[in-house]
Amino acid sequence: MLYALCSNDMSRSLKKGPYINQRILNKLKNLKPGDKTIIKVWDRACTITPEMVGFTIGVHNGRQHLPVYVVENMVGHRLGEFSLTKKFIVHGGKMAKEEAAEAAKPAAAPAAKPAAGKK
């Protein structure tokens, strides 16, 4: 069942099965269900199994550990899919800044009018 859920271009051999780090599973077995402890993990390639559901795992993104709360829909995916390594800032340059400034001006003006209109 887990084999069909892995969606990588170069998937792992069906003969080998999904890559699961046993040390992570052992750490999770020692925790109680519903425990809020974050387990730090550097293994981004590890496949999420049903035993991991309900726990928070701190997945390393190259700089820090981002907390990932594992839910049922994540089973079969990799831990690294939920911890982004690059920070998206914004597209565009001068034109995008001008549009953002125009959008901010009308939004601020209507908020001030009702306050001045009170008697």
pLDDT tens for each residue of 36-53: 899 999 999 999 999 999
- Which pLDDT score is estimated for 116? 59
| Per-residue pLDDT tens digits for 74-91 | 999 999 999 999 988 878
* Spans of all domains in the chain: 2-82
**Whether domain 2-82 has CATH 3.40.50.150:** no
Least confident among 4-8, 21-25, 28-32, 59-63: 4-8
Closest by CA to 6, choosing from 71, 81, 63, 59, is 81
Write the CB contacts of 44 (distance below 8 Å, at least 6 apart in sequence).
Answer: 59, 60, 78, 79, 80, 83
